[in-house]
Amino acid sequence: MDGRSESVLRWSAPEALGTTGGAPASLLWNFPVLLKDNIETADMPTTAGSLALVDNAPGRDAPLVTRLREAGAIILGKTNLSEWANIRSNNSISGWSGVGGQTRNPYDPARTPCGSSSGSAVAVAIGLAPAAIGTETDGSITCPASVNGVVGFKPTVGLVSRTHIVPIAHSQDTAGPIAATVEDAAVVLTAIAGSDPLDPATIEADARKVDYRAALDANSLQGARLGVMRFLVSNYSTETQAEFERALTNLRAAGAEIVEITEAPENFRQIGGWELTVLLTELKHDLNLYLASTDPQQVRTRTLAEVIAFNAAEPRETVLFGQELFDRAEATGGLDDPAYVEARERSFRAAGPDGIDRMMATHGVVALTAPTTSRAWTNDREDDDNAQGSASRLAAVAGYPHLTVPMGFDRGMPVGLSFIGGKWDDARILSLGHAYEQATHERRPPPAPAQPSSSTGG
């Protein structure tokens, strides 16, 4: 470690980094990849950052890990995350977990790395690996990628298996790549995408997946109509808005036609409330299923209720924030509860068919764009430097693809540009982001940490 981030990388893998003497089997041959610590591997514990899971080592690879290994990738280790992927409390601190401590933003350690895939994004930003795997329910790939100045891609839900990944909610969860370039993200996605008989959401994945790297086209912005979600833009800082306007100028210069979308989708402001009902209800159901699949000798907490009791008895877990969202999830009524069924139907329709799909069809655009999120805010709850703006919710709730690419800087902190499309538009969205990246080259790695001065004594 080079001092720029506390608790980014959790373990080192035992594999040697040399070749086997044969020809490379794929573009991922000996390609180093890090995994968020909610993704199971046969050779390392998987904790989701919780002390309740510190001994969770059931000896199995998640299917996406199997795919990476078969493609020749080297699994370097696990990265820290926001504990339980940021679903334990409204007051959680991004990048903090009871197991790994606090991950720091390498551009300014006093500012958030965002979450929950904070360690994955920071590891790529400081060069520990060219790519890492994160997971997203709503913003947990795109936000940390944006504020740490790297590429993050949340695929269509159902393109990548979620089996043996500690869950939040099956309606919205997906794994996806965080990388230094869109090309690297596309190479990784090509390896991990595909159907899994244990994950019904992926039934179409084999038929839908393509070679995402081969589909990249540096000229794909030429003639492309892009819809600006102008109804979001006023939420961002003045500096981020200025960077976004510069990005639009660059998009036009690359041949894109910019279409202004000023009106938010119908029921846009109600989506968040419905979404929370869905997430908390599915959390109880999905986490209970996951815990039941672990080794009872390694994981003594077999249900969400037992995790809540564990946290209440373990001061190290609640030293910074509580678990009120866990409590609310435990009180939910299950997947047959009419309130849940209605919330899922309404939220998906508002975000997908009546949201992204309708905006794209009405305005004749191939993708939507906006700033991904604000510059990284501070971890100090007493100041007024807070998050300003986010483009993640519509794509998250609909389960549609969302890419963030470095766009520029706001007061020295990275900010990203989002490209969002319809279901299974993954290849097109990656290609548009690649074209923007190649036209602008906005990424600037974080500064090296200050070295302590040396002195000689008598």
Active-site amino acid positions: 36, 116, 140
Q: Which residues, 6 or more positions from 409, have their beta carbon under 8 angstroms from its beta carbon?
A: 243, 375, 415, 444
Residue 245, SS3 per DSSP? helix
Alpha helices, H only, 102-258: 118-125, 142-147, 182-192, 205-208, 230-233, 238-253
Please state the φ and ψ torsions of residue 229, each to the nearest 5 degrees. Answer: -80, 75
The rounded distance, in Å, linking the Cα atoms of 41 and 37 is 9
Secondary structure (3-state) at 259: strand
Give the span between the Cα atoms of 84 and 260, in whole angstroms: 38
Length of the chain: 458
Helices and strands (DSSP H and E) totals, the chain: 14, 12
Cα–Cα–Cα angle for 156, 161, 165, nearest 5°?
A: 115
The answer to whether 313 and 293 have CB atoms below 8 angstroms apart is no
